[in-house]
Structures are given as C-alpha cells and as structure tokens.
C-alpha cells in the first residue's frame, strides 16, 4: 500500500510587484532637482543672514527700544551674484534719519567682482559667450536671473581683462632681483606682440610685460624695454638677455642696457635658421655637429666645432656658412659662465618664453575675428596671466648663485659695480 506524501505541493506564486529601478538613471534624472534644491537652500541661508544683519542694526522685532536709531523698512527687489549669474531676491531694508543703511552681507554678495572672475575663467577654459549660460548650474523656474547673455558676458570679459592688462603693465618691478630677461614674440593676425619674461635670482619666473606692433621692429622693442625700465627694471648692472636672434631686439637691448646686457642668442632658433639653408641630405650631419657644439661644456671647443662646420659648408652652401658665423659668439654666452649643464640648457634658449606664449594660443582659439590691437593685447595678456598661475622655478635653479656670482664679477670688470655702490649710498 502506497503512503501519501506529506510534502505539500508547490503553489505557483504571483510575481512580486516590486521592481528594481536603475539607480544610475534615477540619479541622472534627479541631478537637476538636487542642484536646484542646493541653490534654493543657499538662498534661504542668505536670506536668514540678511535678517540677522537687520536685527543687529535695528534690534529684535517688536521690542520696545526708545534709543533705537534704525528701523525696519520692509523689503525691495535686489540682485546678488550666485552661481555665475545675477539672481533677484527680496532684500530687507533698514532706514535711519539720515537715509537707508546698507547690510554688510548684501554688499558682499552684490559685488560683481566674483561674477567677473567667473566669466573670465569660463572664457579662458574655452567656453564661448553663447554657451556661457549652459555651463552654469540650472535654476528653478521661480528664480529670476540675468547676466548670462552673450553680450553681457562679452562686456564683463572686456572690462575685466582691460583692468588686468592695465594693472599688469603698471606693476612695479623694483622689488624683483632679476638676473635674466627673455624676450620673444607671437604673431596674432597682422600684429606682432612682444612679451618679456624675467628670471629672478632664486629661479622664479615673472611675466613682466607685453607690447604691440606690426613686426618685431626696434621701435616696438624699445617701447617694451622703456616701459620695463620706467617700472623699476635695473639697467645699471649686468643682466643675461636671451633673444631669438632678431636684429631689432638686439638693437633695442643695446640701446637700453648698453654694456650691461650680456646677450645669449637662442640656440634652437639658430639651429633652425642654419638648417633652412640646407637640403634634406645635408641636414642630419650638420644638425649633429650643431648639437654637439651647443652641448659642449667648453666655449672654445664649441667655437672650434662651429667654425669647422662653416668651412665645410662654405663651398656648396655659402648662405648656411654665413648663418653659422653670424652671431656665433653670442650663441655660446652661457658656456662662458661655468654653469651646470641643466641650468645652461635652460638659459641657452627662449623655450621658457615660448612655453608661456603657447598657453595664449590655447586661450584665444575660440576668437574668430580680431577687432584691433587692443583686443589682441587683452586676450594674450589674459592667457599669460593664466599661465603665470602654473609657473615653476627654472630647471637648474639650484645653480643660480653661480650665475649671480658671474654677473657680479662682470660688473666689477666693466666698472658697473662702482655705479651700483654709488646708487646704494645715495
């Protein structure tokens, strides 16, 4: 006889009504609401701070204070800077017999300087004026705002960069102990902008100034150097001046500094100029000789290698040979100062100035049409000042005392130290 099973048969269960929501999609959908909530919460905190300011001035609400000098005067619509835009709020008012009293918290939040900084930062990282509003956190529909239109952003950028340029071009330089000066140019449209970069005795880099012209002519270069001199750049003691080989720059430096200028021609520019006279078959061996000469630790050895190269090129490539001989001694200036190899490489070229200018090319990439030299100056200056934030000390800065000692020894040799001592006594 079969026994009945005591195990109850399985009853099919209904499907659970619960569903697993895709959390990623949920978070994406609620991102806007979270940002709006944060902004609304921030406005509530700000409103509470304004009310605290009014209580501090007027005293507690409904309290009888016969000596009270200020009283509440309702609210009025005002604007504060919040999230890169101007937002409308209801501002509490306080009045005295002399007139309305400003609330400290409101004065801080109503200042447009943070908004101007935000506009400039957004433009420098590549946000176009038409896309500025899209780059900001969203606001709720009940919040009124302005200042994000293309024209408003453009006006703020122009005003801010104009003020930056004026402040930069008038900043005093007499507190800087500069031992080297790099000058290089960048072409923007049909203009050539000349930038000056200073190297201090501790290896720190300092962007000194910017000047505008059609080419790197002597007048433009002289204008830049005259501006630096009027702001305190010393021209009565030896200074290592690193140039890209422009004769106009050389002439302006000589006119400004005289014998105090110890000129170093950029070895990279010189190599490039020489190789342009040669064909593809001749360039490799000529470049190898140039590299060997410029990497030499002895100026006489480097000079011998370069003169030998000029003799080898004389017959078939006379222009290249003449380019090798032209300014030969000035390309080897750093080899005469007994510097470390690393510092010598840093001071033998204008790479530090070119690196500074490369940042400006990134900043101004969104500009499609230039409207004059002032606009170019503003944009390039904004790029330079942005690059300054990431400045590091010159490679090989630990050997800077050797450079300073060599320059001061040159002062004594040329008699420049006498004038320097007389100036200190006066």
Q: What is the pLDDT of residues 3-52, one digit of tens each?
A: 655 655 555 555 555 555 454 554 445 555 666 666 677 778 888 888 88
pTM beyond cutoff 0.75: yes
Please give, one letter per residue, the 3-state secondary structure of the chain.
Answer: CCCCCCCCCCCCCCCCCCCCCCHHHHHHHHHHHHHHHHHHHHHHHHHHHHHHHHHHHHCCCCCCCCCCCCEEEEEEEEEEEECCEEEEEEEEEEEECCEEECCHHHHHHHCCHHHHHHHHHHHHCCCCHHHCHHHCCCCCCCCCEECCCHHHHHHHHHHHHHHHHHHHHHCCCCCCCEEEEEEEEEEECCEEEEEEEEEECCCCEEEEEEEEECCCCHHHHHHHHHHHHHCCCCCCCCEEEEECCCHHHHHHHHHHHHHHEEEEECHHHHHHHHHCCCCCCCHHHHHHHHHHHHCCCCHHHHHHHHHHHHHHHCCCCHHHHHHHHCCCHHHHHHHHCCCCHHHHHHHCCCHHHHHHHHHHHHHHHHCCCCCCHHHHHHHHHHHHHHHHCCCCCCCCHHHHHHHHHHHHHHHHHHCHHHHHHHHHHC
Which band of pLDDT confidence, cut at 50, 70 and 90, is reported for residue 288? very high
Which band of pLDDT confidence, cut at 50, 70 and 90, is reported for residue 426? very low
Q: What is the pLDDT of residue 425?
A: 45
Q: What is the pLDDT of residue 10?
A: 59
Q: What is the pLDDT of residue 28?
A: 47
Q: What is the pLDDT of residues 160-212, one digit of tens each?
A: 899 989 999 899 998 999 999 999 888 887 788 888 999 999 999 999 988 88
Average pLDDT along the chain: 84
């Amino acid at each position: 006889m079969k026994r009945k099973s005591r195990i109850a048969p399985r009853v099919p269960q209904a499907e659970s009504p619960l569903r697993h929501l895709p959390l990623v999609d949920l978070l994406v959908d609620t991102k806007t609401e979270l940002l709006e909530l944060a902004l609304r919460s921030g406005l509530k905190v700000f409103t509470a701070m304004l009310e605290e300011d009014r209580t501090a001035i007027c005293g507690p609400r409904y309290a009888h204070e016969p000596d009270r000098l200020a009283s509440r005067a309702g609210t009025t619509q005002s604007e504060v800077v919040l999230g890169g835009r101007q937002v409308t709020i209801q501002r509490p008012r306080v009045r005295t017999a002399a007139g309305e009293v400003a609330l400290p918290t409101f004065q801080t939040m109503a200042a447009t300087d943070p908004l101007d900084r935000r506009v400039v930062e957004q433009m420098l990282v590549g946000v176009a004026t038409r896309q500025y509003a899209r780059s900001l956190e969203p606001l709720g529909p009940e919040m009124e705002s302005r200042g994000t239109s293309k024209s408003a952003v453009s006006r703020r950028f122009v005003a801010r960069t104009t003020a930056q340029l004026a402040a930069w071009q008038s900043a005093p330089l007499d507190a800087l102990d500069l031992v080297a000066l790099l000058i290089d140019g960048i072409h923007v449209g049909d203009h050539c902008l000349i930038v000056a970069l200073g190297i201090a005795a501790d290896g720190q880099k300092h962007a000194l100034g910017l000047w505008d012209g059609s080419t790197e002519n002597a007048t433009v270069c002289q204008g830049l150097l005259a501006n630096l001199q009027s702001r305190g750049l010393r021209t009565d003691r030896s200074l290592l001046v690193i140039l890209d080989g422009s004769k106009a720059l050389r002439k302006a430096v000589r006119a400004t500094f005289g014998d105090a200028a110890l000129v170093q021609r950029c070895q990279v520019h010189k190599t490039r100029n020489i190789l342009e006279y040669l064909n593809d078959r001749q360039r490799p061996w000529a470049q190898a000789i140039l590299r060997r000469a410029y990497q030499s630790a002895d100026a006489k050895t480097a000079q011998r290698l370069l003169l030998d190269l000029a003799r080898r090129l004389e017959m078939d490539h006379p222009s290249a040979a003449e380019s090798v001989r032209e300014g030969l001694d000035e390309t080897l200036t750093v080899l005469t100062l007994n510097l470390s190899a690393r510092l010598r490489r840093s001071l033998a070229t204008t790479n530090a100035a070119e690196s500074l200018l490369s940042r400006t090319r990134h900043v101004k990439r969104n500009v499609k049409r230039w409207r004059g030299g002032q606009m170019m100056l503003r944009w390039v200056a904004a790029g330079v000042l942005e690059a300054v934030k990431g400045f590091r000390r010159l490679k090989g800065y630990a050997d800077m005392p050797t450079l300073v000692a060599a320059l001061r020894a040159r002062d004594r040799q040329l008699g420049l130290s006498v004038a320097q001592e007389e100036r200190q006594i006066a």
